[in-house]
Amino acid sequence: MDKPHHWVPGIAERKRQLDAIGVSDPLELYRDVPSELILSEPPRVGYGRVLSEEELRRIALKLASRNRLYRTPPPFTGGGYCPHLVPSVVDYIVSRGEFLTAYTPYQPEINQGLLQALFEYQSLIADLVELEVVNSSLYDGSTAVAEAALMALRVTRRHRLVVASTLHPEYMAVLRTWLLGKNVELITVPMMEDTYTIDIDVLERLVNNETAAVIVPSPNFYGALELEMERIADIAHKHDSLLVHVFEPLSLGLVKPPGRLGADIAVAEGQPLGLGLNYGGPGLGIMAVRWDRRLLRQLPGRLIGMTRDVDGRHAFTMILQTREQHIRREKATSNITTNEALMAVRAAIFMALLGGSGLRRLARTIWLRSHYLAKRLAESLNAYSPLFTSPFFKEFTVRFNVDYEPVYKRLAAEGLLAGLPLRARYGLGSKGDAIFCVTELHSMKDIDMLVDKLASTLQD
């Protein structure tokens, strides 16, 4: 029997456990595995010995040195995640132990500080989107879309979804995965070639009394803003269907919020709100709904409310817990247990620092700089043409008259991440299509350098 380790008490119980089930050789537990798949000797992994802390540090640094960092200028690569300024105070506050180590509070009322932070997050998002109820919170933008779709199916008890083809392809893939085995009909609405927004006349023909929800992004995957969201809402509501508006948080500094446009459910990826890129995650799934008991009861995640305790002081408590880890069990509306509370706190800190006027200034800055890049491309590159005529925010898609992927790879090797090759990454559009992203981190000098590099590379 192995000598027990004081940190792993289970090892000391191994022989007793095997004796209790009548097994002498632990390999008998794997007799269902074909013998040719069983290793005859331990795998040769690692370095063959225990490494010291300094040796591990050197190995980690050597591996990290292989990463390419694109900071000057920041990446211009669009496709959903873009670089944004994260104020240092956000990192400082969330690094405090009471936030950083917080997961799901199973005795929630003990943790009043975290509950208040989440309550403030809900309140700030509610003000931003002009919808009454916000949960705290969901995994990321793609799963927020899927959660909204499932909620609409439960609320309406229908089995048909009408989804804009301009939804992010990764969001669409997650949605299709979550719908597997649910006998749901998923219909996509085509986009118009001149505007890259959905064809509303086709939408009107597709939505009927069997439709649970209409799911439309604005700005969409290509960056274009849907200018007729109110008409889309009317079409959905005429058939008692729900409108799910997939929005971009910072764009609400310039455009009407989902609540004012008639959305029943609004979802988004909260990465622009102080989260950074973080090598692709974690993200933050934002979800808000209008005040409706049917929506409220089917809202995934949890809600934090404010009340008064026995001494008359303000107190915070969970007023809705629909996860399977809590009281709902098999009736849970969501089985994703990660609530991204830390990311929600980051977003709350960021929004509180920014304020309403700050959000408007930030959105205007992003709008002007992204349109400045579009203008410079049009003026400087003969091999370029805009892909659509719609107004856009932060991201926009262009078409080059050459295969763009080799251009992208060459510039990346030179330390510049330009627009994302659309065909190579998602199999969409032509080989010349690319999605560019411009935020407050990109200076005019950065934009001019990008245009000059593109021009010289395209000429070669």
CATH of residue 413: 3.90.1150.10
* Domain final residue pick, 319, 352, 385: 352
Examine the domain organization and report whether 277 and 333 are in the same domain. Answer: yes
pLDDT recorded at residue 202 = 98
Distance CA 436, CA 392 (A): 11
Q: How many domains does the chain have?
A: 2
Residue 58 lies in a domain: no
Examine the domain organization and report whether 402 and 329 are in the same domain. Answer: no
Q: Which two tokens stand for residue 42?
A: 């331990």
Reduce the DSSP state of residue 318 to 3 states and report it.
Answer: strand
Query: Which residues, 6+ apart, have CB-to-CB distance to 169 below 8 Å?
Result: 221, 426, 428
Examine the domain organization and report whether 176 and 275 are in the same domain. Answer: yes
Examine the domain organization and report whether 405 and 310 are in the same domain. Answer: no
pLDDT recorded at residue 246 = 98
Among candidate residues 340, 178, 370, 193, the one with its CA nearest the CA of residue 268: 340
- Strands of 309-448 (E only): list them: 314-321, 384-386, 395-400, 420-421, 433-437
Residue 13 lies in a domain: no
Examine the domain organization and report whether 97 and 203 are in the same domain. Answer: yes
Q: What is the pLDDT along the chain (460 residues), one digit of tens a residue?
A: 455 555 555 666 777 888 899 988 888 888 899 988 888 888 888 888 888 999 999 999 999 999 888 989 999 999 999 999 999 999 999 888 777 665 555 666 677 888 899 999 999 999 999 999 999 889 999 999 999 999 999 999 999 999 999 999 999 999 999 999 999 999 999 999 999 999 999 999 999 999 999 999 999 999 999 999 999 999 999 999 999 999 999 999 999 999 999 999 999 999 999 998 987 788 999 999 999 999 998 999 889 999 998 899 999 988 887 665 556 667 778 777 676 888 999 999 999 999 999 999 999 999 999 999 999 998 888 767 788 899 999 999 999 999 999 999 999 999 999 999 999 999 999 999 999 999 999 999 999 999 999 999 998 7
Examine the domain organization and report whether 335 and 451 are in the same domain. Answer: no
Distance CA 56, CA 37 (A): 32
Residue 421 lies in a domain: yes
Residues for the chain: how many in total? Answer: 460
Which residue's entry shows tokens 């009317």?
234
pLDDT recorded at residue 380 = 85
Q: How many CA atoms lie within 13 A of 60 on its CB side?
A: 7
- Kindly report, residue by residue over 372-405, the tens digit of the pLDDT: 999 999 888 876 778 889 999 999 999 999 999 9
CATH of residue 258: 3.40.640.10
Assess whether the previous peptide bond of 43 is cis (omega < 30° from 0). no
Residue 108 lies in a domain: yes
Distance of CA 59 to the CA centre of its chain: 32
What residue type is 58 in one-letter code?
R
**CA atoms 393, 394, 400, 404: torsion sign:** negative
Examine the domain organization and report whether 311 and 410 are in the same domain. Answer: no
Distance CA 311, CA 289 (A): 33
pLDDT recorded at residue 44 = 84
Q: What is the DSSP string of 272-315?
A: TTTT--GGG----EEEEE-S-HHHHHT--SEEEEEEE-TTS-EE
Among candidate residues 439, 453, 451, 277, the one with its CA nearest the CA of residue 370: 439
pLDDT recorded at residue 249 = 98
* Domain final residue pick, 320, 352, 384: 352
Residue 132 lies in a domain: yes
Examine the domain organization and report whether 418 and 331 are in the same domain. Answer: no
Distance CA 345, CA 103 (A): 12
Examine the domain organization and report whether 339 and 359 are in the same domain. Answer: no
Which residue's entry shows tokens 């003969």?
382
Strands 213-217 and 160-164: parallel
Residue 22 lies in a domain: no
Q: What is the pTM of this model?
A: 0.88
Examine the domain organization and report whether 220 and 317 are in the same domain. Answer: yes
Distance CA 448, CA 432 (A): 21
Examine the domain organization and report whether 424 and 363 are in the same domain. Answer: yes
- Sort 111 into a burial class: Cβ within 10 Å, 0-12 / 13-18 / 19+: middle
pLDDT recorded at residue 340 = 83
pLDDT recorded at residue 107 = 60
pLDDT recorded at residue 115 = 87
Among candidate residues 375, 351, 352, 363, the one with its CA nearest the CA of residue 219: 363
Distance CA 393, CA 369 (A): 10
Q: What are phi and psi of 192, to 5 degrees?
A: -85, 140
Residue 15 lies in a domain: no
pLDDT recorded at residue 301 = 83
Find the angle CA(282)-CA(283)-CA(284) to the nearest 5 degrees: 135
Examine the domain organization and report whether 244 and 359 are in the same domain. Answer: no
Between the two ends of the chain, the Cα-to-Cα distance in Å is: 70
Contact 131, 318 (CB under 8 A): no
Distance CA 139, CA 270 (A): 10
Distance CA 104, CA 99 (A): 11
Among candidate residues 402, 422, 412, 393, the one with its CA nearest the CA of residue 453: 412
Distance CA 417, CA 335 (A): 37
pLDDT recorded at residue 1 = 44
Distance CA 246, CA 237 (A): 17
130: containing domain: 88-352
Secondary structure element (H or E) that encloses residue 189, with its range? strand 185-189
* Domain final residue pick, 301, 331, 352: 352
Contact 275, 285 (CB under 8 A): no
Residue 49 lies in a domain: no
